[in-house]
C-alpha cells in the first residue's frame, strides 16, 4: 500500500507538476526525474518524493518564490488540511462551527474526538487514566518554586515519553489512546507548579473541564466547569498557527506524539503566541484600578507601544472567540476586581477606536472571574490546543512526507577559499 501511495502514474505525475505528458517524459530523459517499473504491464511509475522535489526546485527559480515566502507571514495557505476552516465567524472544526459547539455545551472530549476522527461522538467519551504516569516527587524536585505553568507541562511531557517504550508507533490506533491519556494528564498537570496535591483528585474528575477546574482551583462550581469547557472548545484548534505548524514539522519526520507535543509546547511559550496572555496579565496588574485604564492606554499610545490582547490579523472585525468568553466571565463574577480592570481596558480601547479584544484578553478576563493563579491562561491554552495539535499530527502522519521548505539565499557572495 505504501508503494502505491508513494508512486504515481504518468498522468498523475504530470498533473502534480502542472505539465503535459511530453514534458514529463523530457524530465526523465534529461535525468531530472526517475521512473520505475509498474507492478503490472509496461506502464512506468514516478516517485512522489522526486516529483515534489522537482516541483520545489522549479518554483524556487520562478516568480513564485516571493509568493511562497509571503505565504509564511499570514499569507496564502501553504498546505492542504481537512481539520479547521477559518472564517469571519471563527473556526469550524471538520465543518462544525466552534462557537456553535461551545454554545450547545458539547463536551470538550467529544470535540477533540471530532478533530481527530472527523465525527462527533453521540455520547460523552470517558477518558480514564491510571495516575500521572511519572514520579511526582522527581518532577517537583526539578521545578523552581515560581515556575510558569507551561514550564511544568514542558517538563511533564518528556518525562511521560521516557516512561512509554511503545511511543514510536505512529498508527492512529496506537496514537489515539496515548493522546487521550496525555491530554488528561496535562490538564491535571496544571497543578504541578502551584499545588501538586490537587493532581490526584484532578485525574479522578469525569471531564477535562472539571480536571482543569480542580487543578487550577477555579471558583464558581458547576458554572466554572461549564465556562471552562466552552473555553477549551474555542481554544481547541486554529488552523496552522505557529505551534500547530511546529507539531506538524516534528510529525513529518516521524517523531512520536510526545515529541510533537513538546515541539508545540515549546513554540507556545513565545510571547507572541500562547504566552501573550501573560503580557495582558502584566498590563492589567500595571493598570491596577479600573479608573486608570484610560490614562494608561493614552500613555502607551503616546509612546507608540502596542497594547497586548487586542486585534488579530485573521479577524479585522474582532476575534469572534473572545466575546463568549468575556460574557461568561461577566456572568460568573461581575464583581471580581481584576475583571473590572480588564473590562475597563476593553472599554477604553473601544472608545479610542482601537482593535477589539482577542482571545488572550478574553482568557485574562475569565481567569480573573474564576480567581485562577497567575499564568493560568497560558496553561489553559496549552490544554485546549493539544486537541488540535494531535489532529495535525495525525493528519501529517497520514500525509507521509517531510516538511522541508526552501530558503532564498540573501547573504553576500562569501570569501573565496573560506
Active-site residue set: 312, 360
Provide the pairing of β-strand 44-47 with 84-87. Answer: unpaired
Phi (first) and psi of residue 308, to 5 degrees: -70, 150
Question: How many residues appear in the chain?
Answer: 418
Residues 282, 288: Cα–Cα separation, whole Å? 10
Sign of CA dihedral 245, 251, 256, 257: positive
Distance from C-alpha of 91 to C-alpha of 382, rounded to nearest angstrom: 17
Within a 10 A sphere around the Cβ of 282, how many other Cβ atoms? Answer: 13
Which cell numbers in the block locate residue 266? 515549546
Alpha-carbon span 107 to 229, nearest angstrom:
7
CB-CB contact of 165 with 244 (8 Å): no
Q: Which of 304, 252, 246 is nearest to 273 (CA)?
A: 246
Q: Are strands 7-8 and 36-37 parallel, antiparallel or unpaired?
A: unpaired
Residues 6+ apart with CB under 8 A from 122: none
CA distance 246 to 393: 10
Distance CA 247, CA 262 (A): 8
> What SS3 state is found at 97?
strand
Instruction: Compute the distance between CA of residue 39 and CA of residue 25 in angstroms, rounded to an integer.
Output: 19
**Of 183, 188, 190, nearest in space to 149 by CA:** 190
Q: What is the C-alpha separation between 315 and 90, in angstroms, rounded? A: 8
CA atoms within 13 A on the CB side of 246: 19
How far apart CA 371 and CA 341 sit, in angstroms, is 14
Could you give the strand order of the β-sheet that contains 44-47, starting from the edge strand earlier in sequence? 7-8, 44-47, 36-37
Amino acid at each position: 500500500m505504501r508503494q502505491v501511495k508513494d508512486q504515481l502514474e504518468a498522468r498523475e505525475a504530470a498533473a502534480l507538476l502542472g505539465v503535459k505528458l511530453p514534458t514529463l517524459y523530457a524530465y526523465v530523459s534529461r535525468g531530472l526525474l526517475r521512473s520505475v517499473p509498474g507492478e503490472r504491464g509496461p506502464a512506468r511509475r514516478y516517485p512522489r518524493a522526486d516529483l515534489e522535489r522537482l516541483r520545489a526546485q522549479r518554483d524556487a527559480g520562478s516568480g513564485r518564490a516571493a509568493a511562497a515566502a509571503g505565504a509564511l507571514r499570514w499569507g496564502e495557505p501553504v498546505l492542504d488540511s481537512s481539520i479547521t476552516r477559518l472564517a469571519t465567524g471563527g473556526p469550524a472544526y471538520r465543518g462544525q462551527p466552534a462557537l456553535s459547539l461551545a454554545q450547545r455545551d458539547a463536551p470538550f472530549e467529544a470535540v477533540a474526538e471530532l478533530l481527530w476522527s472527523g465525527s462527533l461522538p453521540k455520547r460523552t467519551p470517558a477518558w480514564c487514566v491510571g495516575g500521572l504516569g511519572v514520579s511526582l516527587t522527581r518532577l517537583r524536585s526539578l521545578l523552581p518554586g515560581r515556575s510558569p505553568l507551561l514550564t511544568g507541562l514542558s517538563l511533564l511531557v518528556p518525562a511521560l515519553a521516557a516512561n512509554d517504550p511503545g511511543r514510536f508507533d505512529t498508527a492512529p490506533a496506537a496514537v489515539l489512546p496515548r493522546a487521550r491519556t496525555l491530554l488528561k494528564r496535562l490538564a491535571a498537570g496544571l497543578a504541578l507548579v502551584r499545588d501538586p496535591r490537587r493532581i490526584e483528585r484532578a485525574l479522578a474528575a469525569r471531564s477535562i473541564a472539571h480536571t482543569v477546574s480542580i487543578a487550577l482551583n477555579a471558583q464558581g462550581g458547576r458554572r466554572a466547569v461549564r465556562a471552562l469547557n466552552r473555553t477549551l472548545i474555542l481554544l481547541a484548534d486554529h488552523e496552522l498557527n505557529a505551534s500547530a505548524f511546529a507539531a506538524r514539522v516534528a510529525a513529518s519526520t516521524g517523531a512520536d506524539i510526545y515529541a510533537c507535543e513538546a515541539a508545540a509546547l515549546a513554540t507556545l511559550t513565545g510571547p507572541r503566541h500562547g504566552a501573550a496572555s501573560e503580557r495582558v496579565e502584566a498590563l492589567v496588574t500595571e493598570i491596577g484600578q479600573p479608573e486608570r485604564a484610560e490614562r494608561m492606554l493614552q500613555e502607551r499610545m503616546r509612546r507608540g507601544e502596542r497594547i497586548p490582547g487586542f486585534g488579530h490579523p485573521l479577524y479585522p472585525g474582532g476575534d469572534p472567540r473572545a466575546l463568549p468568553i468575556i460574557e461568561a466571565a461577566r456572568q460568573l463574577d461581575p464583581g471580581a476586581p481584576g475583571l473590572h480592570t480588564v473590562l475597563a481596558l476593553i472599554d477604553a480601547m473601544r472608545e479610542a477606536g482601537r482593535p477589539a479584544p482577542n482571545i488572550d484578553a478574553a482568557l485574562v478576563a475569565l481567569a480573573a472571574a474564576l480567581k485562577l493563579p497567575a499564568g493560568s491562561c497560558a496553561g489553559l491554552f496549552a490544554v485546549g490546543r493539544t486537541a488540535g495539535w494531535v489532529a495535525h499530527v495525525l493528519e501529517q502522519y497520514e500525509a507521509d512526507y517531510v516538511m522541508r521548505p526552501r530558503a532564498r539565499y540573501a547573504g553576500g557572495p562569501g570569501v573565496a577559499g573560506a
